[in-house]
Structures are given as C-alpha cells and as structure tokens.
Amino acid sequence: MSRRPSASLQSSLRIAIAHPTMGLGGAERWVLDVAAALRDRGHRVTVFTARVDRERCFEEARDGSIDIRERAGFLPANILGRLRAPCNVLRTMAVGWSLGGEPGGFDVAIADLVAHSIPLLCRRAACPVLFYCHFPDVLLTPPKRGLYRLYRRPLDRLEERGLAAADRVLVNSRFTGDRFAEAFPRLPRPGVLYPGVAVEEFADVPPPAEDGPIRLLVLGRFDPSKNLEVAIETLGELRSRLPKDLFDRLELQLAGGFDESRPEMGTLLERLRALAVRLGLAAQVSFLTNPSDAVRKALLAGCRCLLYTPPREHFGLVPVEAMAAGRPVAAVREGGPCETILDGVTGRLCAPDAASFAAAVEPWLQDPELAWTVGAAGRRRSQSFSRAGMGEALEAELRSILDP
C-alpha cells in the first residue's frame, strides 16, 4: 500500500473510519466516541457507512457534529431476514471501495466489526489500516453443522485473512484479547484499547433521591443474549428480602436499542413482559425502546443502581457510563466488566442469577448513603476510561503505524 512519508509528523491527520451501519449499539457508540475524540485532538475525521438509521441512532450520528457520509445504502442488510453476515460483508466492502474516490485521500483508516473487508479497504484507501475488534465474528455464531457449516466456512476464512492484512489490530478488553488468541492462534496477539466515555457529560448528575420511587435500571440492547430475564427475576427475589414498604417503592426500568426488523427482539420483549406478569411484577416493571441520549442520562440520574446482566460481555460500556454518573453497578462476574468494575468498591460482580444480583443490590436499596459512597468511587474509577484518554492512546497507535 502507498504511504505518505510525512504523515506521522503532521500535527493533523486525515482519518477515515469505515463502519457498516450507524444504529444504536455499542459499536456505533464507539465509532462516534472515536470520531469525536480524534476530532477534538485536531484531526480531520470522516466516518463512512452504508446507512444511518435515523429512527434509531445516537444524536451525534444525525446532528452534523461529526462528518458522516453514507455509501452503498442501496445494498440490503439481509435477504428475507437471513444472510445477514454476507450482506454485512458486502455492504462494508462497498463502503471500503468508495474510499478510493475521495479527493485528497487519507493518512490512515480505521475499521471495526467486519474484518473481511480489510484487504479491499487497504487497496482502495491506499493507506495503513487499523482494525478494532469488538469480538471475533467467528465466535459469535452458533455451532457450525450441516449446510450452515458450508455457509460459514468461507466467511470465517475471510475474517482471518482480513485480520492478517491489517497494519494493526486492537481489541476492547483483555477478555476479548484472550478469545482472539484462541480463535486465531496464527495471528499476533492484539493490543488492548479500552473504549472511552465522555465522563464530563455525567459530572452534573446529582445523587439519587432518598424519597419517592427507588429505581433499578437496566440499560442496553433488547437482545436475547443479554440475559435480561435475570433483572426481572432479581426484582422478584427482592420481594422476600426487603420490608414490604421498601419493596413497594421499587421500580425496574429496562431501556435500550430495539430494531423492529429483527424478530428475535420483538419475541424477547413479549417474553419479558409475560415474565413480569407471571411474577406479579407488571406494575413495577417498565420498558423503553430506543431512548435518546438525553433520556438515557435522565434514566441514570433517576436510578439508585444499575443492573448489567449480560454474561461474558466483551467490554460493556454501560457500566462505565453508570459509574461516571455516580451509580453503583451490579454485573456478571465474566468478561469485560471484571476489568472495569472494582468488586466491593464501585459495584459488585455477581453470578448470572437472580439470587446473586439481589444479594448485591440489597444493601444499596436499604442504605442510600452506602449507594452514594459506592457511586462516588465509581465516578473516580470512570476517569480511567475517559473518551479523552482513549483518543490520546488511539492517536499514539495511529502515529506509530505511520512511523514504525
């Protein structure tokens, strides 16, 4: 690939970021935070994507604060609800192809989610490429048997070849790094770059109110893999642990991204509502889909604590946001949260069941002062995962690629 000899010495770099679709997930949050962090450091950043889903995306994806250009939106995201993976690869390749026609070119490119497109991106962008791996795609698929195995085999091979073509690969946690090494033993072990949160945006979140409803918050995508049933079951478990007058004040709010085009999300939401009814908790459980950034912040401000139920989460940005807002976090004792939450200091790490979660949050519900103390420790801890710090570290990685 061609390189610009003086690029690493320039105070301002021209950086392209390639991402499949701008929706309302953790990967999209990462792309926007990276673009903002590098922009704030004086670089010219352009995000290229197949489509911005304006009905369900973060505010920065549509307010013009970040230069986002849509390419290849005519390509389908799926075919009759299936073949999502090859459609995603095709769309990302089309996005990568479009970079070759950009006037002036780029000093360096960043890609995430779809490693399969990296060789094409390298050729078309004619610059070094850094790939950010949220989690190996080969490990996200169900067991490969029969025809599905034949369908996935070329995609899995393309993923490894794509990763090998990148100038540098980074992952979002040590946990993901370990899984990467297991999935691709022939490739060099990637470095770790933790995602960052704009912690300063949560500085004005006040302590939780001591009177009125006591809210437990679940924030994240309505996805079957997120183990959201545990949150509702935790509320049921608390019924036998707390005095009735205290339990009656409890409210559980589940809020997060919801894509109507994915039938499994609709099925999950129906199942969660049915579970709340079956446990006699319907009056104390509410659901909110696709909350705006302002609503997300208001939900954090209004809660006593956060429940984070996904098992083996690759990183988990929501617990860091909750800590930045000064709220205790109870999360599963697996994956990325083990690297962000200090057990017994900024929250609790739990087994993935209702009894463990209920035992973790009960003291915070009984004692608002304790919840505030733990939340204050979390706010200090969140400084280690700031967006500004991530931007500084990522810039250093990019410059070291340009000037090895």
Structure confidence at residue 9 (pLDDT):
54
Question: How far apart are the C-alpha atoms of 291 and 216, rounded to whole Å?
Answer: 16
What's the whole-model pTM score? 0.90
Inter-residue contact 129 to 111 (CB < 8 Å): yes
Question: How far apart are the C-alpha atoms of 91 and 110, rounded to whole Å?
Answer: 16
Structure confidence at residue 3 (pLDDT):
46
Question: How far apart are the C-alpha atoms of 166 and 51, rounded to whole Å?
Answer: 24
329-368: burial string, b at 16+ Cβ within 10 Å, e else: bbbbebbbbbebbbeeebbbbbebebebbbbbbbebbeeb
Helical (H) or strand (E) element with 329: strand 329-332
Inter-residue contact 169 to 112 (CB < 8 Å): no
Structure confidence at residue 148 (pLDDT):
63
Question: How far apart are the C-alpha atoms of 240 and 237, rounded to whole Å?
Answer: 6
- Residues in the chain, total: 404
Question: How far apart are the C-alpha atoms of 183 and 160, rounded to whole Å?
Answer: 9
Structure confidence at residue 249 (pLDDT):
98
- pLDDT in single tens digits along all 404 residues of the chain: 444 444 555 689 999 999 998 988 889 999 999 999 999 999 999 999 999 988 888 899 999 999 999 987 777 777 767 777 878 888 888 888 888 878 889 999 999 989 999 999 999 999 999 999 999 999 987 665 666 666 678 888 999 999 999 999 999 999 999 999 999 999 999 999 999 999 999 988 888 777 889 999 999 999 999 999 999 999 999 999 999 999 999 999 999 999 888 899 999 999 999 999 999 999 999 999 999 889 999 999 999 999 999 999 999 999 999 999 999 999 999 999 999 999 999 999 999 999 999 999 999 999 999 999 999 999 999 999 999 999 999 999 999 999 87
Question: How far apart are the C-alpha atoms of 92 and 322, rounded to whole Å?
Answer: 32
Helix axes of 354-366 and 229-238: crossing angle, nearest 10 degrees: 60
Question: How far apart are the C-alpha atoms of 368 and 366, rounded to whole Å?
Answer: 7
